[in-house]
Amino acid sequence: MTQPLPDAITAAAPLIAPYIRQTPILTVEANALNLRTPVTFKLEHTQITGSFKLRGAFFNMLTRDVPDAGIVAASGGNHGAAVAYAATTLGHKSRIFVPATIAKEEKLRRMRGFGGEVVLTEGSVGACMEEYAAYAESSGALSVHPYDTIPTLTGQGTLARELEAQMGELDTVFVATGGGGLIGGVSAWFRDRVKIVSVETEGTNTLEKSMREGPEIDVPARGVAAGSLGGPRLGVDSFALIREFVDEAVVLPDDDVYDAANRMWEATRLIGEPGSAVALAALTSGAYVPEKDERIGVILCGGNAEPDWFVQ
C-alpha cells in the first residue's frame, strides 16, 4: 500500500480515540476577520500536547511493535512532544533529536515535561534527521517519523475525518505545510471531494518548491515559522498524495503571518503558534480570495509557542 485509504483512517479513529481529544471547531463571522465569508477553525492547537501530531504518534505505537530500546524521533518540537507523551502514556521510553538552530525553549520544555529525552543537534534540519536515523539503526529503537510513513499519515488523516463530521459539507480546507504529514493525511481523507490549499512562508516553502522542482530538494528553514514548518523536504508518501490531491500552494512573507495572528487574537482571543497563523494568513493577506458562499475550514495545527510571539 502506497497511500492510506479513507477506510484505514476510519478504522484508525476509534483506536486512538481513548488517548486523544476530539478538538472543537469555531465558526467566525466574516466581518470579524475582514473577509468575504465566515471561516471555521479546527482548534487542533487545543490537543493534549498542543498539536495534531499526537494522532500519528499514537497510531504508530498502537499498531507497531515497540522494542525495549523504546521510541526515537526527530522534531522541531510538536512531533517530539507528541512522541514523548504517547510513549510515556504507553509505558515506553523516548529519545527526541532536535536541531539546535530552530529549537524553541517552549517546545523543549514540553518535550521534556512529557517524559522525552531531548538530544540537541548541530547543523541543519537535514543533519538532525541523519543523526536520528543513525541512532534508530544502531539502537534498534522504533523510529516514529514525523511525516514519511503510512501509519503517521493515517493517524493525521483522522483530523480531516473529524473536521468533516463536525462541519458537515465544506468546500475548501487550508493547511499549513512542513514535511507534509498533516496535508498528506488531509489529502488521504478528502481526496478529490474538497479543495485543499497548502500554505507556507517564504522561508519554509518545501511543498511549493517540490511542486516546481521535484521532491529531491533540501530547504533550509528560516523565518517566523521555521520551528513549526521547517521540513527540509517532503516525505515520499506525503508527496505522492500532495501531487495528486493538493489543488493550490500559497507562499507568504512573514509579515502576513504576524498580521493573521493579530487578527485571530482580536477576533477570537485565540492564540496559536506561527504554523497555525500561516494557514489563516492565506485568507487575511488576500493571497486567496474565496467565493462569497465558499465553505472554508482552516486548521489551527499547533499552539506550542510563547503566547506573545506575534506582538513582538
- Which tens digit of pLDDT belongs to each residue from 130-187? 999 999 999 999 999 888 899 999 999 999 999 999 999 999 999 999 889 999 999 9
88 and 155 housed in the same domain: no
Query: How many structural domains does the chain have?
Result: 2
Tell me which residue of 275, 259, 234, 238 sits closest to 102, measured CA to CA: 275
The stretch 188-193 carries a mean pLDDT of 96
d(CA 32, CA 207) in angstroms, rounded, equals: 30
Q: 232: domain range?
A: 6-51+150-311
Which residue shows C-alpha cell 505505537? 61
CA 229 to chain centre: 8
CA neighbor of 76 nearest in space, from 216, 204, 168: 204
State in Å, rounded, how far the first CA of the chain is from the last one. 46
pLDDT at 309: 94
- d(CA 37, CA 39) in angstroms, rounded, equals 6
pLDDT tier for residue 1 given thresholds of 50, 70 and 90: very low
Taking the mean position of all CA atoms in its chain, how far away is CA 233? 14
| 1 within domain boundaries | no
Question: Which residue, 109, 143, 177, sits at the end of a domain?
Answer: 143
Q: Are residues 121 and 249 in the same domain?
A: no
Identify whether residues 58 and 45 lie together within a single domain.
Answer: no
> What local confidence, expressed as pLDDT, does residue 88 receive?
98
Domain boundary among 143, 159, 186: 143
Interatomic CA distance for residues 42 and 65, integer angstroms: 32
The CATH number of residue 21's host domain is 3.40.50.1100
Co-location of 211 and 76 in the same domain: no
223: left (phi over 0), alpha (psi -120 to 50) or beta: left
pLDDT higher than 90, residue 2: no
Q: For the CA atoms of 186, 188, 190, 191, what is the dihedral angle to 10 degrees?
A: 130
Asked whether residue 6 carries a pLDDT value surpassing 60, the answer given is: yes
Asked whether 77 and 111 are in contact (CB, 8 A), the reply is yes
Q: Cell for 229?
A: 514548518
Q: Which of 143, 164, 197 is the last residue of a domain?
A: 143
- CB distance 92 to 64 below 8 Å: no
User: H/E element holding 75?
Assistant: none
pLDDT tens, 17-76?
999 999 999 999 999 999 999 999 999 999 999 999 999 999 999 999 999 999 999 988
Examine residue 228 and state whether it is found in any structural domain, yes or no: yes
Q: Using the predicted structure, report yes or no on whether residue 107 has a pLDDT greater than 70.
A: yes
In a domain? residue 69 = yes
DSSP class of residue 302 equals B
pLDDT 10s digits, 249-299: 999 999 999 999 999 999 999 999 999 999 999 999 999 999 989 999 999
Query: Are residues 172 and 207 located together in one domain of the fold?
Result: yes
User: Is residue 197 located within the same domain as residue 306?
Assistant: yes
Each residue's pLDDT tens digit, 194-227: 999 999 999 999 999 999 998 888 888 889 998 7
